[in-house]
Amino acid sequence: MAILKATNIKYYYQDGENIRTILKDLSIEFEKGKFYTILGPSGSGKTTLLSLLAALDEPKEGNILYNDQDIKTIGYEKYRRNMISIVFQSYNLVPYMTALENVMIPMAITENEIPKNTKEVAYNLLDYIGITKTKADRIVNKLSGGEQQRVAIARSLASNVDVIFADEPTGNLDSELEDEIIEIFRTLAHEHNKCIIMVTHSKEIADKSDVSFQLKKGVLLQNE
Amino acid sequence: MNFLKRAFLSLVRRKGKSLILLVIIFILSNVMAGSIAIGQASNNVERTIKLQLGANASVEFDWEKMQNWNEEQWNSLEYITPEMADRIGSLSYVKYYDYNSETYINSTTLTQYDPNMVEVPMYSYFPIKGVQYAPILDIVNGNATLVSGRTFNDTEVKNADYVALISDKVAELNNIFVGDVIYLQNTFSIWKEDNTVEEIKRDIALEVIGIFTPKVQQAEENNGGWIDYTPFNRIYVPNGVVHAENRWMNEQYAIAYPDSNIKIDQIYITPSFVLNNPEDVESFRTEAKNLLPDYYKVTVSSDAYDSVAGPIKFIGSLSNIILYVAIGATILILSLVVILFLRDRKHELGIYLSLGESKSKVVGQILIEVLSIAILAISLSLLTGNSIAESTSQSMMDLRNEITGNNNNGGVIYRDMGYYPNNGVTEDDVLEAYKIEFSWDYVLILYGVGLGTVLLSSIAPMIYILRLKPKKIMM
């Protein structure tokens, strides 16, 4: 059963009388326990699609359903707070906080059930993702790019959600680190029953996913 | 890691930015603290001096309203009557009141007090003040002190007994004691066509029942070498005595000039009211005015404040202007600085929003950060603001003196003990009452104004946060 469903999504930019269509009547479904990739060249609309699915923006037409409930009805803020999390290309960590503190931020925001020993949980999450306790107590700016992205992944897990979006999370990393990060996402999908939806322009990454879609000129095609 | 903890972390981890904000708010709140301290001190002066001036009221003609009167209006002029004075005196604001009739009567047997007198004159003139309030208002108010004998009793006032109080100077000069009788002559002079004067005299014998010493301000005694000895030569008698003597004079006038329309029984009184509370002045003025013809006005002793409060009013109004400018500058500078800082933290705010944090909590976090720094800065300026106010006050007074050429030797309120208490207040008294103090009022007002200004300064930054779109920031 699909946890997340987009139906007849349309998105365009209007500049005076000129309309630039980004997404044309797009429909797509995602299930738990699978690692999805959306492949496409720059400007194909894949980041726009991700921002719509993550409720960072609103489609001009169409609906996005989470467990068959319109996310507009749920409320975008509540949806972002309790149902999804996002890993960004540029990590987007709070620069003056430690890795541990960054991971603890969503724990205070989400209304999902979180164990009371939040600090311990955060340490465990970081450890699981490959960040030692010593590094967890460092200010994030002192960590390497790969470590920062791991912290960002740990943060996405902290709010205990089922759907995790990733916007080119390996874009700033070398190929060795890229492999490690992709492996983490695969594990999260397969071993922890998460729905991972990653946007990428890398065919290699797309090949490692369970389901891969290609976005071309606003139209979505499923890769065989 | 809720928004309160995030605010705390931001404050302590971003020390440089916090310090910059602290310094900016500290400087601006010092200006506000100084202005508020000066404003408070000016207000305290007004309160102190007005209390010192007392809550004594009188009724007099409003000459401005009577400037363009026609003959008919003048003929129908209504003088204050004892009944009018009684009606005003019965208002709840009035502690006690009196109304006085006055005249001058000469004497050949009693010498007036004048230390500059070279030889004893043939006639001495004495101001006679009739009173209705038996304990005598001037003595009750402390403008004269009874040194021996007593004041009138109600029966003497009611029966218009020929009893009097004289000053200790006149008593000493004439070797008079309580119980003695003094003699005056009410004299009506008729000027004849051949330039001769016919004098009709009426002897008045007054039993001295008390001796007083008037309170006269030193400043008035030394005012330009001219000294008014009226308070020393004044003789207090019951109103009825003055009325009887004035009536006799009017009768003589009617006989001498039968064509005149003189009203023999016309009496002229000046009422004085002492109020329970100086703060009731304006209410009393309004209600009393309603009981009087519209060409009378009610004057109150504290009205004199304006004439001596020049330097303080100047400082007060200048400090107000500075305060308003400081508030405006704070709002502008702080709004821009906080927005600039927020632009630096745009990604951080975007992270909170993308994690589903409500905008109100993000706004709350920023408000807590700014207010925490503001509270610290304002608390520090509480201490420094007073010192700034003190040094600034002196500079402002110097500036005012430069502008007006005032050297602070003028501005004496001359006041005889007739209508107002003899508590003449000078500009020096006002300056002496000016004190920059560390009071609770000052603390509360500074925190109120300071934090209020900081909150106003936060409006623009908060709008900036509310308009943030996480997609634009994060993707």
What's this model's pTM, rounded to 2 decimal places? 0.68
Q: Confidence class of residue B196 from pLDDT cuts 50, 70 and 90?
A: confident
ipTM of this predicted structure: 0.91
Strands (E), B168-214: 181-191, 197-214
Q: Is the pLDDT score of B116 beyond 50?
A: yes
pLDDT at B213: 94
Q: Confidence class of residue B178 from pLDDT cuts 50, 70 and 90?
A: very high
Chain B residues within 8 A of A77 when measuring between CB atoms = 356-358
Q: B474 and A56 in contact by Cβ < 8 A? A: yes
Q: A109 and B357 in contact by Cβ < 8 A? A: yes
| Number of cross-chain residue pairs from A and B with Cβ atoms under 8 Å apart | 71
Q: B9 and A96 in contact by Cβ < 8 A? A: yes
Q: B474 and A86 in contact by Cβ < 8 A? A: yes
Q: B471 and A101 in contact by Cβ < 8 A? A: no
Chain B residues within 8 A of A50 when measuring between CB atoms = 475
Q: B471 and A77 in contact by Cβ < 8 A? A: no
Closest-approach residue (CA) in chain B for A54: B354
Partners of B147 in the beta sheet? none
> How far is B352 from B363, CA to CA, in rounded Å?
11
For B424-450, the pLDDT digits (tens) are: 566 666 666 677 777 888 889 889 999
pLDDT at A14: 84
Q: A82 and B475 in contact by Cβ < 8 A? A: no
pLDDT at B384: 87
- Supply the DSSP string of B412-469, one letter for each residue: -----TTTS-S----HHHHHHH------HHHHHHHHHHHHHHHHHHTHHHHHHHHT--
Contact A154/A75 with Cβ under 8 angstroms?
Answer: no
> How far is B70 from A207, CA to CA, in rounded Å?
111
Q: Is the pLDDT score of B145 beyond 60?
A: yes
Chain A residues within 8 A of B474 when measuring between CB atoms = 56, 86, 88, 92
Contact A11/A48 with Cβ under 8 angstroms?
Answer: yes
For B234-270, the pLDDT digits (tens) are: 999 999 999 999 999 999 999 888 888 888 888 888 8
Closest CB to B470 among A56, A109, A110 = A56
pLDDT at B419: 39
Q: B356 and A78 in contact by Cβ < 8 A? A: yes
Q: Is the pLDDT score of B417 beyond 80?
A: no
- Mean pLDDT on B277-296: 88
Higher per-residue pLDDT: B56 or B164:
B164
Does residue B53 sit in helix, strand or coil? helix
C-alpha closest to that of A211 among A221, A166, A50: A221
Closest CB to A51 among B5, B350, B471 = B471
Q: Confidence class of residue B411 from pLDDT cuts 50, 70 and 90?
A: very low
Residue A95 forms contact with B (CB below 8 Å)? yes
- Mean pLDDT on B13-18: 90
pLDDT at B422: 36
Q: Centre a 10 Å sphere on the Cβ of residue B96 and count the other Cβ atoms it contains.
A: 15
- Supply the DSSP string of B302-341, one letter for each residue: GGGHHHH-HHHHHHHHHHHHHHHHHHHHHHHHHHHHHHHH
Q: Which of A76, A78, A94, A98 to mutate to test the interface with B (most CBs of B within 10 A)?
A: A94
Helix B15-53 to helix B310-344 angle (10° resolution) is 160
Q: B474 and A85 in contact by Cβ < 8 A? A: no
Does residue B57 sit in helix, strand or coil? strand
Please give the share of chain B, as a percent, with pLDDT higher than 90. 32
Q: Is the pLDDT score of B401 beyond 90?
A: no
> Where is average pLDDT lowest: A11-25, B347-361, B405-419?
B405-419
Residue A34 forms contact with B (CB below 8 Å)? no
Closest-approach residue (CA) in chain B for A47: B475
Residue A161 forms contact with B (CB below 8 Å)? no
Q: Confidence class of residue B119 from pLDDT cuts 50, 70 and 90?
A: confident
Contact B131/B164 with Cβ under 8 angstroms?
Answer: no
> How far is A151 from A97, CA to CA, in rounded Å?
12
Closest CB to A108 among B1, B10, B351 = B1
pLDDT tens track of chain A, all 224 residues? 789 999 999 998 888 888 888 888 889 999 999 999 999 888 788 888 999 999 999 999 999 999 999 999 999 999 999 999 998 888 889 999 999 999 999 998 999 888 889 899 999 989 988 889 999 999 999 998 888 988 998 898 898 899 999 988 887 777 777 888 888 889 889 998 999 999 988 888 888 889 999 988 778 887 75
Q: Confidence class of residue B400 from pLDDT cuts 50, 70 and 90?
A: low
Q: A50 and B475 in contact by Cβ < 8 A? A: yes
Residue for token pair 């059963």? A1
Residue A156 forms contact with B (CB below 8 Å)? no
> How far is B76 from B17, CA to CA, in rounded Å?
78
